[in-house]
A and B are shown apart, each in its own frame.
Chain A
């Protein structure tokens, strides 16, 4: 795949949607395109993260360790970003990501990502916006979850 296609892929991702095309191009050019075989591990729960991955092709499972064994909580696909939290704050990976098929990704290292953000403020604003949206959504979900929990306990 050529650089041009990668730029297109990146632009379809909400996080990068409003970032200036030339900067997307720089990000695409300076990132590594990485192919995983089905079953290869992108990152492991509990380990420190050093990169985020943009899925260009294929599928990846997000697996969380639970008391009853590994639990697949989501499947990510084309245009999704995985592992972006770990490159913003220094916490261990919250889940294991495993290639579910042959998987092509763009690997953006933490250094590169942070450097790009600090150099191009527009991108950090965009980043904040996307994260804020996500927070709103998560808060709503939490509220719903709490309400249903109260209902359940109230009914009992």
Chain B
């Protein structure tokens, strides 16, 4: 990258800068006449000096008044022209700046991915993120104005100066007499401000790093009661920033003071010198007015120029600082990630590393001339103590770090020279803790198959389409990535399949290989399915529902354990709210917590003549709650577990109860009514056993349920997915779709028995794979936070297997799993890689008997090689390791 911001600007936006310069030059003549006109208006049009009316102009005679109108009209036109120029220049300048900013950000971002990995030990995301987001932001503004502003404003200033000189030399000289002084002192002070600014940027970077650390290490902070230390440290940083800013303010406002003072000296001289001259008759009053006007006009460009100087210094420093941070030693070439050899090589034969030497950033040796030679179709275990160099070796073999010296080749291919397209597709690596991206499980699995967009996809969203189309030319102008992120990137061929459907099937196999299948099945059960997208699965689930209820009917004592949703029957294991809606809310309109506030619900209750009943029920529930819970401390968990009323609201209900007459509930205040009405909605008869929802009320609710559907206004029609025994409910999850009812309260082990029955039905109908497939759409959360650590690691292992690499390097990837699953997963992977290479740095050396060959590594070199039996016979060290 260019080290000077000017070089960078010229290299990427020379054309735009020239256009801007030309535009500003073109504006100067108009500017001059704009200054000249007031003089003509005052002296000639108003005072009629040196002119005889009527004036002949292109055969038209113009009298004085008309002349005045013509000249003021011309003045107005010139104002328009000048502002027009300014507008055009500003817009073009803004666009130029934004494009350059886009280019700069893109370049910096893509550099991050070319940093050698050890760089990230020294640089945290807390430092990198603000550099690309906030710190370069002002650079865009500066790049746009880099040339045009001094040219335009400087030129503007010169035009005014020229005009003043033409009017009266002394006055002109007096007006600018103090400019040299300003031009001398202000940059000096400005330099100090800039140095402080530089310090401020660094301090803020440290600050954001501290915040990042606090978030990342929050657990440690709690565990060790370290919050005071963190706060004190933060205070210290804030204090430093405060004093830097304090000094900046002092200097900045001194500069401002000086600027304003000197600016005001101009009028002082005009009135003094010009006034004297007008009195003496040496100067026309019009000229004086024009001169004062012109001087006023001068203030703006001069200020702009000084401000520009400040920004220029600022931008220069910022640019240099940022660029410096993005040029770590060992930065890989752009072509390393862009090149794609043709024909694309397959890695086969032998993996040969010779004389591999590596030391870490402290200079201590990790590998000391290590030689390795293994066939790429065999299973190789690397064993050794911690610190023996096996960790570094696996990373070098996976091409994650470069050795300081040595060679590495796979068959004919020199891996050290090979572009990432070869190493990143033909080799895979799994470390101790892989990273899971904030997307779905499926996306994470297919992450290793997306190297280039392979097929165009039709984009249905019109907005997205126009955006992509418009952005095309901008991408070319800013050298951004030419690849379209919306296209289909998945490389089916390299995964050994032909279509997305086959890939899903393969993904399910791989998930089961790493024992993640059951977990994803559980996610699938709790996910929703769009029946329009996958009608077959939806139909299967619907028949699973039938089968489920057949089984329940057929005895086994399960009959009472589930109460199905039946359109003509009140479900005593569901809340009154659920019974009335008889469906799953799709959006916020029918929030089950706030049904009483919904006007449509109120209308339905009113029309069903249930309002009084609701108030009565509300009264009963409220009195019981107040009776039971009034003595409990406010933080008591009963409020959460059983309360219809929160501890905050309880006193309010107490107050309402004392002021209402239970015989005349209709006369309550409206807001009290609403509070009472909200209570019955949450009552579940068989759980709460309050006896307030009588059979008569249940009947009325079932009737109201029908009214509710029939009269639902059009705008609310999409807000609720109604229960229908013969239809798939798109808003409910798969489990609820099969169950289609409520597990009954009050039956021992009901959930367990129903759960067992459910999985019986699923396996009987061979639905498991279909449900796992739905589970692929489960969003894993930021950094995979919705998965457990083991699930994340298994997902990363599955991702590497799915890619079908020619060889797989594994660095203690299963260490966090329990011993039995470790062994099972290991065996599954070795089976899967039949005919391909696996190099596994084992956390449990005793498992190495499963491998063809064992490399015993010690002190950064390979100490011994052989089969399990060989090593067991001859190597004391190996015996130590496996015991």
- Would A40 and B748 count as touching, CB distance under 8 A? yes
Among B628, B629, B688, B745, max chain A CB count under 10 A is at B628
Given known A-B contacts A22-B627, A25-B628, A34 and B689 have beta carbons under 8 A apart: no
B690 within 8 A of A: yes
In the bound assembly, the distance between CA atoms of A33 and B691 in angstroms comes to: 14
Chain B, 819-861, CB within 8 A of any chain A CB: none
Q: Given A6, A29, A34, A42, which contacts B628 in the complex, CB threshold below 8 Å?
A: A29
- Would A34 and B691 count as touching, CB distance under 8 A? no
B641 within 8 A of A: yes
Q: For residue A64, give the distance in angstroms from its CB to the closest CB of chain B.
A: 21
A151 within 8 A of B: no
Interface string of B689-701 (1 = CB under 8 A from A): 1110000000000
List residues of chain A with CB within 8 A of the CB of B746.
32-35
A68 within 8 A of B: no
- Would A34 and B627 count as touching, CB distance under 8 A? no
List residues of chain A with CB within 8 A of the CB of B747.
34-35
Q: For residue B800, give the distance in angstroms from its CB to the closest CB of chain A.
A: 43
Chain A, 11-37, CB within 8 A of any chain B CB: 22, 25-26, 29-30, 32-37
- Would A30 and B691 count as touching, CB distance under 8 A? no
List residues of chain A with CB within 8 A of the CB of B629.
26
Q: How large is the interface on B (under 10, 10 to 19, 20 to 34, 35 or more residues)?
A: 10 to 19
- Would B628 and A37 count as touching, CB distance under 8 A? no
In the bound assembly, the distance between CA atoms of A34 and B557 in angstroms comes to: 15
In the bound assembly, the distance between CA atoms of A135 and B641 in angstroms comes to: 36
List residues of chain A with CB within 8 A of the CB of B69.
none
- Would A30 and B642 count as touching, CB distance under 8 A? yes
Given known A-B contacts A30-B638, A37-B557, A4 and B748 have beta carbons under 8 A apart: no
Chain A, Cβ-Cβ closest to B690: A3
In the bound assembly, the distance between CA atoms of A3 and B746 in angstroms comes to: 13
A90 within 8 A of B: no
Q: For residue B179, give the distance in angstroms from its CB to the closest CB of chain A.
A: 83
Chain B, 548-567, CB within 8 A of any chain A CB: 557, 560
In the bound assembly, the distance between CA atoms of A143 and B690 in angstroms comes to: 48
Chain A, 44-101, CB within 8 A of any chain B CB: none
- Would B691 and A2 count as touching, CB distance under 8 A? yes
List residues of chain A with CB within 8 A of the CB of B642.
29-30
Chain B, Cβ-Cβ closest to A105: B748
Given known A-B contacts A22-B627, A22-B628, A26-B628, A34 and B748 have beta carbons under 8 A apart: yes
In the bound assembly, the distance between CA atoms of A4 and B689 in angstroms comes to: 9
- Would A36 and B748 count as touching, CB distance under 8 A? yes
List residues of chain A with CB within 8 A of the CB of B632.
119
Q: For residue B804, give the distance in angstroms from its CB to the closest CB of chain A.
A: 49
- Would B748 and A6 count as touching, CB distance under 8 A? no
List residues of chain B with CB within 8 A of the CB of A1.
689
List residues of chain A with CB within 8 A of the CB of B691.
2-4
List residues of chain A with CB within 8 A of the CB of B627.
22, 25
List residues of chain B with CB within 8 A of the CB of A37.
557, 748
Interface string of A100-125 (1 = CB under 8 A from B): 00000000000000000001000000
In the bound assembly, the distance between CA atoms of A37 and B273 in angstroms comes to: 113
List residues of chain B with CB within 8 A of the CB of A40.
748-749
Q: For residue A102, give the distance in angstroms from its CB to the closest CB of chain B.
A: 10
- Would A2 and B690 count as touching, CB distance under 8 A? yes
List residues of chain B with CB within 8 A of the CB of A35.
560, 746-748
**What total of chain A residues lie within 8 Å of the partner, measured CB to CB?**
19
In the bound assembly, the distance between CA atoms of A33 and B629 in angstroms comes to: 20
In the bound assembly, the distance between CA atoms of A139 and B627 in angstroms comes to: 41
- Would A32 and B628 count as touching, CB distance under 8 A? no
Q: For residue B22, give the distance in angstroms from its CB to the closest CB of chain A.
A: 82
Q: Given A3, A6, A30, A34, which contacts B641 in the complex, CB threshold below 8 Å?
A: A30
Interface string of B631-655 (1 = CB under 8 A from A): 0100000100110000000000000
In the bound assembly, the distance between CA atoms of A34 and B745 in angstroms comes to: 8
Interface string of B548-589 (1 = CB under 8 A from A): 000000000100100000000000000000000000000000
Interface string of B734-776 (1 = CB under 8 A from A): 0000000000011111000000000000000000000000000
Q: For residue A114, give the distance in angstroms from its CB to the closest CB of chain B.
A: 13
Interface string of B6-27 (1 = CB under 8 A from A): 0000000000000000000000
Chain B, 360-394, CB within 8 A of any chain A CB: none
Chain A, Cβ-Cβ closest to B557: A37
List residues of chain B with CB within 8 A of the CB of A4.
691
List residues of chain B with CB within 8 A of the CB of A30.
638, 641-642
Among B632, B688, B689, B748, max chain A CB count under 10 A is at B748
Q: For residue A1, give the distance in angstroms from its CB to the closest CB of chain B.
A: 7
List residues of chain A with CB within 8 A of the CB of B688.
3, 29
- Would B689 and A3 count as touching, CB distance under 8 A? yes
Chain B, Cβ-Cβ closest to A33: B746
Given known A-B contacts A25-B628, A30-B638, A37-B557, A6 and B689 have beta carbons under 8 A apart: yes
In the bound assembly, the distance between CA atoms of A29 and B632 in angstroms comes to: 14
List residues of chain B with CB within 8 A of the CB of A26.
628-629, 638
In the bound assembly, the distance between CA atoms of A30 and B642 in angstroms comes to: 7
List residues of chain A with CB within 8 A of the CB of B638.
26, 30
Chain B, Cβ-Cβ closest to A120: B631
Interface string of B604-628 (1 = CB under 8 A from A): 0000000000000000000010011
In the bound assembly, the distance between CA atoms of A42 and B628 in angstroms comes to: 29
Q: For residue B439, give the distance in angstroms from its CB to the closest CB of chain A.
A: 40
List residues of chain B with CB within 8 A of the CB of A42.
748
In the bound assembly, the distance between CA atoms of A45 and B642 in angstroms comes to: 31
- Would B689 and A33 count as touching, CB distance under 8 A? yes
Chain B, Cβ-Cβ closest to A41: B748
Chain B, Cβ-Cβ closest to A103: B748
List residues of chain B with CB within 8 A of the CB of A2.
689-691
Q: For residue A5, give the distance in angstroms from its CB to the closest CB of chain B.
A: 9
In the bound assembly, the distance between CA atoms of A40 and B747 in angstroms comes to: 11
- Would A32 and B745 count as touching, CB distance under 8 A? yes
Chain B, Cβ-Cβ closest to A40: B748
In the bound assembly, the distance between CA atoms of A107 and B747 in angstroms comes to: 11
In the bound assembly, the distance between CA atoms of A3 and B686 in angstroms comes to: 10
Chain A, Cβ-Cβ closest to B560: A35
List residues of chain B with CB within 8 A of the CB of A25.
627-628
List residues of chain B with CB within 8 A of the CB of A29.
624, 628, 642, 688-689
Q: For residue B709, give the distance in angstroms from its CB to the closest CB of chain A.
A: 31
List residues of chain A with CB within 8 A of the CB of B624.
29
Q: List 30 A-B contacts (CB under 8 A).
A: A1-B689, A2-B689, A2-B690, A3-B689, A4-B691, A22-B627, A22-B628, A25-B627, A25-B628, A26-B628, A26-B629, A26-B638, A29-B624, A29-B642, A30-B638, A30-B641, A30-B642, A32-B745, A32-B746, A33-B689, A33-B745, A33-B746, A34-B747, A34-B748, A35-B560, A35-B747, A35-B748, A40-B748, A40-B749, A119-B632
A: residues with CB less than 8 A from B are 1-4, 6, 22, 25-26, 29-30, 32-37, 40, 42, 119
B: residues with CB less than 8 A from A are 557, 560, 624, 627-629, 632, 638, 641-642, 688-691, 745-749
Given contacts A3-B689, A35-B747, 17 further A-B contacts (CB under 8 A): A1-B689, A2-B691, A4-B691, A22-B627, A22-B628, A25-B627, A25-B628, A26-B638, A29-B624, A29-B642, A30-B642, A33-B746, A34-B746, A35-B560, A35-B746, A40-B749, A42-B748
Give the 4 A-B residue pairs with the shortest CB-CB distance, closest first.
A2-B691, A3-B689, A33-B746, A26-B628
